Amino acid sequence: MTLSEGVQLVAFGLLAIMMLGGALGVVLLENIVYSAFLLGGVFLSMSGMFILLNAGFVAAAQVLVYVGAVSVLILFGIMLVNKQQPFLPVKSAWVGKAATGAVCAGLFALLTATVFKTSWAFSPEMPVGDQAIVEIGKHFFTDYLLAFELASVLLLIALIGAIVLARRELIPDTLPGEDESEALQLPERPRQLVSSVAANTSDSDA
């Protein structure tokens, strides 16, 4: 065994432990902030796995997108929406739990089937290494063009949705003047009700 093989073996073991332990922590820990941080750790160890597979670009993209953007946004969401309220006992909660269990079992069965159906023999082709970026680019604009464009349209929809949600300023649940006097109102831009906004969208950009 040469040095590089030994390093790869040890790195694989460490990354696998980090990944599995982190993933279990994400599911099992009570504190949702811990779960979110551990999710970032799982993504990081996943990018380490990509490096071991000679996929440097995918590894860097994994760090950039999942650790740098997705995890941070999840954390952001958790920290901004710090709602402290006890869980109300929901009637017939077992239906939801059973459905979740069924979905999880189904996913697990599907993945297991895929694991057993995939041929894990080493590909005879040489890994492209640093040329992978060029290959990925070619695939994006030929045989994976539809998926690529659909993903970009999906992102565009999310972007527009976020802007629409963020632009809706100060819409109260009650009519102005219904439960507060004029003197108590702060000088804000004219308020609109959700219903009137919905009615106005047809003729003007709210």
Partner 1 sequence: MNQGIDLQGSFIRAMVDLGFSPGVAKTLWLPLPMGVILVAATVSIFVTVWLERKISAAAQQRIGPEYAGPLGTLQAAADGIKLIFKEDITPAKADPWLFTLGPAIVVIPVFLSFLIVPFGQNMVITDIGVGIFLWIALSSIAPIGLLMAGYSSNNKYSLLGGLRAAAQSISYEIPMALAVLAVVLMSNSLSTIDIVNQQSGYGILGWNIWRQPAGFLIFWIAALAECERLPFDLPEAEEELVAGYQTEYTGMKFGLFYVGSYVNLVLSALIVSILYLGGWEFPVSVTWISGLLGISETTPWLQVITAAIGIMMTVFKAYALVFIAILLRWTVPRVRIDQLLDFGWKFLLPVSLVNLLLTAALKLTFPVAFGG
CA distance 45 to 59: 10
Q: Is 145 in the site for partner 1 (CB under 8 A)?
A: no
Q: Is 1 in the site for partner 1 (CB under 8 A)?
A: no
Q: Name which position in 21, 57, 136, 176 contacts partner 1 (CB under 8 A).
A: 57
Q: Is 37 in the site for partner 1 (CB under 8 A)?
A: yes
Q: Could you tell me the maximum CA-CA distance found in the chain, to the nearest angstrom?
A: 82
Determine the interface stretch with partner 1 among 22-30, 128-136, 170-178, 195-203 (rule: CB under 8 A): 128-136
CA distance 139 to 142: 5
Q: Is 15 in the site for partner 1 (CB under 8 A)?
A: no
Phi-psi region of 45 (alpha: psi -120 to 50; beta: other; left: phi over 0): alpha
Q: Which of residues 76-95 bind partner 1 (CB under 8 A)?
A: 76, 79-80
Q: Smallest gap, in angstroms, from Cβ of residue 118 to partner 1?
A: 27
Single out the residue of 107, 90, 39 nearest to residue 67, CA to CA.
Answer: 39
Q: Name which position in 32, 102, 130, 164 contacts partner 1 (CB under 8 A).
A: 130
Q: Smallest gap, in angstroms, from Cβ of residue 58 to partner 1?
A: 9
Q: Are 33 and 78 in contact (CB under 8 A)?
A: yes
Q: Smallest gap, in angstroms, from Cβ of residue 90 to partner 1?
A: 29
Other C-beta atoms lying within 10 Å of the C-beta of residue 50: 17
Q: Please calculate the CA angle 21-68-34 and round it to the nearest 5 degrees.
A: 40
Specify the residue, 98 or 162, whose C-beta has the smaller distance to partner 1: 162
With tokens 């979110």, the residue in question is: 36
Q: Is 136 in the site for partner 1 (CB under 8 A)?
A: no
Size of the site for partner 1 (CB under 8 A): 28
Q: Name which position in 11, 52, 132, 193 contacts partner 1 (CB under 8 A).
A: 132
Q: Is 2 in the site for partner 1 (CB under 8 A)?
A: yes
**Which residues lie below 8 Å from residue 126, measured CB to CB, with a gap of 6+?**
none
Q: Is 60 in the site for partner 1 (CB under 8 A)?
A: yes
And the tokens for 176? 């102005």
CA distance 161 to 180: 32
Residues that bind partner 1 (CB under 8 A): 2-3, 33, 37, 40, 44, 56-57, 59-61, 63-64, 67-69, 71-73, 75-76, 79-80, 129-133
